[in-house]
Amino acid sequence: MKHISGHTKISGVIGENISYTKSPLIHNYWYSQHQIDGAYLCFNTSSERFKETVYGLFYAGIIGLNVTVPFKELAFDFAHIRSDAAEQAQSVNCLTFKDNQIYGHNTDGIGFYNALKYLDPKIDLNNKEILIIGAGGAASAIIAYLSQFNVKIYILNRTLSKAEDLVNKFSSQVVIQAVTSPLSVDLIVQTTNLKTIETGSIIDIPDDIMQKSYYIIDINYGDGAGEFLKRASKLGIKNCDGSEMLLQQAVPAFEFFNNQPVEITDNLRNLLKNS
Ligand code: ATR
């Protein structure tokens, strides 16, 4: 049992109905590995209570908060000072507090990119074509990050108008197009929360198209990503699920909260996989 003292630094994640979250496992692993007297907890609240809960936690001395569904946009509006990464993503997943000011930051984009680098340390996104499946908040944050590269992005979504909304949002920054059927690209990013990609549905990706891509990322983890990535592995395509992104976005978040550099060890990857 972890020793909690009057000096224990508290950090955590705030969201709605997020008791499933694996973030405490990751951050508490680092606290223990680096022998820091700290604890990372999970806080559930509602949209109506978000602001007062965040202020309450900060006034009680919490050192930092990760923000997850569905509050990342609310946190963006609410932060007094936002980092460039937060501005780029138009969303905030990390909050800190100093001199009555709320600081908002975002580590999702770099987490996504470092997950790609985990798949291939030599990856070069320039001149690559990328198919994004889905057009929700996660797709938007990933496209925002990808916009700094010389890439061509296609968005395939059940509701075409939502894909077109993202095209309008990003077309001044990156070459981007909405599509109504899958096409061959270098990288496929699956951002919907579908458990399986249904055969015959708009977002079903036939094997011959999948086979042409070098990498596939499904941002779901656990069972959610299972079937799609099993097919990718069978076809010999480098792939990873959202647990790698979860780990990679947690590294800069932990550093942001604790001023302590950390690493993702194989032991931590295995702990997460078996949890
Ligand atoms: P997130 O923030 O995780 O991206 P979201 O904003 O709710 O979540 O977006 C979920 C995405 O998954 C949407 O693009 C949604 O498609 P629609 O725009 O058509 O709603 C997609 N999605 C969810 N369930 C789906 C399903 N059964 N079939 C196809 N797409 C689905």
User: What is the Cα–Cα distance from 261 to 182, expressed in whole angstroms?
Assistant: 40
- How large is the average pLDDT for residues 202-230? 86
Going by their DSSP bridges, the two strands 94-98 and 64-67 should be labelled as antiparallel
Helix (H, G, I), strand (E, B) or coil at 240: strand
Q: Of ligand 1's atoms, which has the minimum distance to the CA of residue 70?
A: 2
Q: Confidence class of residue 203 from pLDDT cuts 50, 70 and 90?
A: confident
Q: Of ligand 1's atoms, which has the minimum distance to the CA of residue 69?
A: 2
Helix 23-33 with 266-273: angle, nearest 10 deg: 150
Q: Confidence class of residue 75 from pLDDT cuts 50, 70 and 90?
A: very high
pLDDT confidence of residue 241: 92
Q: Confidence class of residue 225 from pLDDT cuts 50, 70 and 90?
A: low
- How large is the average pLDDT for residues 44-51? 97
**30-39, 173-182, 192-201: lowest mean pLDDT where?**
192-201
User: What is the Cα–Cα distance from 162 to 29, expressed in whole angstroms?
Assistant: 39
DSSP-derived secondary structure for 54-91 = HHHHHHTT--EEEE-TT-HHHHHHH-SEE-HHHHHHT-
- How large is the average pLDDT for residues 126-138? 94
Q: How far apart are the first and last CA of the chain?
A: 18
Question: Do 51 and 78 contact (CB within 8 A), yes or no?
Answer: yes
Ligand 1 center to 31 CA (angstroms): 35
Q: Confidence class of residue 222 from pLDDT cuts 50, 70 and 90?
A: confident
pLDDT confidence of residue 227: 81
**Higher-scoring residue by pLDDT: 1, 148:** 148
What is the pLDDT of the chain when averaged over all its residues? 93
pLDDT confidence of residue 224: 60
- How large is the average pLDDT for residues 127-136? 96
- How large is the average pLDDT for residues 102-116? 96
- How large is the average pLDDT for residues 81-98? 94
User: What is the Cα–Cα distance from 204 to 239, expressed in whole angstroms?
Assistant: 17
Question: Do 194 and 219 contact (CB within 8 A), yes or no?
Answer: no
pLDDT confidence of residue 2: 66
Ligand 1 center to 184 CA (angstroms): 22
User: What is the Cα–Cα distance from 116 to 25, expressed in whole angstroms?
Assistant: 22
Question: Do 192 and 203 contact (CB within 8 A), yes or no?
Answer: yes
Residue 213: pLDDT above 90?
Answer: yes
**Among residues 203, 209, 99, which one has the least CA distance to residue 155?**
203
Q: Is the CB of 135 under 6 A from ligand 1?
A: yes
Catalytic annotation on 273? no
**Among residues 73, 32, 7, which one has the least CA distance to residue 254?**
32
- How large is the average pLDDT for residues 121-131? 96
- How large is the average pLDDT for residues 165-190? 96
pLDDT confidence of residue 226: 75
Residue 112's CB is within 10 A of a number of other CB atoms, namely 23
Question: Do 75 and 67 contact (CB within 8 A), yes or no?
Answer: yes
Q: Is the CB of 189 under 6 A from ligand 1?
A: no
Question: Which residue has its alpha carbon closest to ligand 1 atom 22?
Answer: 192
Residue 99's CB is within 10 A of a number of other CB atoms, namely 4
Q: How confident is the model over 15-43, as pLDDT tens digits?
A: 999 998 999 999 999 999 999 999 999 99
